[in-house]
């Protein structure tokens, strides 16, 4: 069945790969991004409509863009919030503006798109909204406060909205995709806060070098990663017959790190269970079935 997809952040990387793979499969695609005449000109050969959409725009502008996109094919089946902003920097070097820039692109933007899309999808009780996030939505990383903060916030929002939709419109699915490191151009687009605190100079240089090295040694194949994301969005291929969770990590590196993070969290809960339970009211009895 032919589906209609809207993808944000299509200038390169995952976004461009989504457009090309979906068009090759015969699906309708609306490619979006900023400065489309220059940054998305290379996608004209796909034949897909290309729409100017800056995800940091005010809510009313984004709503108008989503309404415009909706009319192109008479509806949208899947929206992929892919636009990103790889903002890093030691915390004392970062400013409120640095963090706001990351939040506007990777938190407020996707939520405004979601709000606009739900106004169309909810009455129909169908549709899928995907978020290309990161496994850094599950753990913090030195020199990545702006980036991780936005990803943590988005993950929490997606879980909340998914709970609401389970009651209001169970036919709509929200999926936060949380990949590890993949070979894309993203490593060349690092936005680093100005080094304002001399004490961090050495740490900053070490962290930047380490980050670049990790990207260059990334295990993830972007073509395979996007192919799996499309499977997940369609419920086909390796995702066929599976119940897709609201949050899903992708990549062997993400699996390894997140598994350890989960195990460490369980260990802390076990070690501090007596302290946690000691704060209950005297005589409190847990409801039946509660762990």
What residue numbers bound the domain in which 260 lies? 4-274
Of 131-135, 200-204, 252-256, which range is least confident? 200-204
Structure confidence at residue 185 (pLDDT): 67
Q: In sequence order, what DSSP letters do the residues of 74-130 get, joined into one string?
A: T--SEEEE-----EEB-TTT--HHHHHHHHIIIIIHHHHHHHHHHHHHGGGT-EEEE
Instruction: Let me know if residue 279 belongs to a domain.
Output: no
SS3 33: strand
CATH number of the domain that residue 211 is part of: 3.40.50.720
Is position 282 within any domain?
A: no
Residue 285 lies in a domain: no
Which stretch, 89-98, 99-108, 180-189, has highest mean pLDDT? Answer: 99-108
Residue 71 lies in a domain: yes
Crossing angle of helices 145-168 and 96-103, rounded to 10°: 40
Q: Is 50 domain-assigned?
A: yes
For residue 187, pLDDT beyond 60? no
d(CA 271, CA 265) in angstroms, rounded, equals: 10
- How many domains in the chain? 1
The mean pLDDT value for 254-274 works out to 97
Average pLDDT, integer, range 156-171: 97
In a domain, 124, yes or no: yes
Tell me the average pLDDT across 132-151. Answer: 93
pLDDT in tens, 274-290: 999 999 999 999 888 76
Residue 280 domain-assigned?
Answer: no
Nearest of 110, 102, 104, 121 to residue 82 by alpha carbon: 110
- Rounded to two decimals, the pTM is 0.93
- Give the number of other CB atoms < 10 A from CB of residue 48: 22
Q: What is the mean pLDDT of residues 95-119?
A: 96
Q: Are 28 and 36 in contact (CB under 8 A)?
A: no
Please state the rounded mean pLDDT for residues 150-169: 97
The answer to whether position 83 is within a domain reads yes
Helices 59-73 and 109-121: angle between axes, nearest 10 degrees: 50
**Minimum mean pLDDT among 91-100, 116-125, 136-145, 183-192: which range?**
183-192
Q: Averaged over 100-119, what is the pLDDT?
A: 97
Average pLDDT estimate for 31-38: 96
Who contacts 162 (Cβ-Cβ below 8 Å, separation ≥6)?
174, 246
């Amino acid at each position: 069945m032919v589906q209609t997809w809207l993808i944000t952040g299509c200038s390169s990387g995952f976004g461009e790969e989504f457009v090309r793979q979906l068009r090759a499969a015969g699906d309708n695609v609306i490619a979006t991004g900023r400065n489309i005449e220059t940054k998305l000109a290379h996608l004209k050969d796909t034949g897909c409509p290309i729409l100017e959409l800056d995800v940091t725009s005010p809510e009313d502008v984004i709503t108008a863009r989503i309404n415009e996109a909706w009319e192109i094919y008479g509806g949208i089946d899947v929206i992929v919030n892919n636009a990103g902003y790889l903002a890093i920097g030691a915390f004392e070097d970062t400013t409120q503006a640095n963090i706001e820039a990351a939040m506007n692109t990777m938190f407020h933007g996707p939520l405004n798109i979601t709000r606009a899309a739900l106004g169309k999808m909810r009455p129909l009780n169908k549709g899928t909204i995907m978020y290309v996030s990161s496994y850094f939505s599950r753990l913090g990383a030195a020199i990545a406060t702006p980036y991780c903060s936005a990803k943590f916030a988005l993950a929490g929002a997606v879980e909340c909205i998914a709970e609401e939709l389970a009651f209001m419109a169970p036919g709509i699915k929200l999926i936060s995709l949380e990949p590890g490191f993949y070979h894309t151009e993203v490593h060349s687009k690092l936005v680093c806060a100005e080094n304002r605190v001399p004490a961090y100079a050495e740490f900053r240089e070490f962290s930047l070098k380490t980050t670049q090295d990790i990207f260059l040694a990334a295990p993830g194949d972007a073509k395979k990663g996007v192919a799996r994301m499309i499977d997940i969005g369609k419920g086909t291929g390796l995702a066929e017959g599976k119940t897709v969770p609201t949050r899903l990590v992708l990549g062997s590196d993400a699996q390894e790190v997140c598994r350890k993070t989960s195990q460490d969290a369980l260990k802390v809960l076990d070690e501090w269970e007596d302290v946690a339970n000691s704060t209950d009211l005297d005589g409190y009895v847990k409801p039946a079935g509660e762990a």
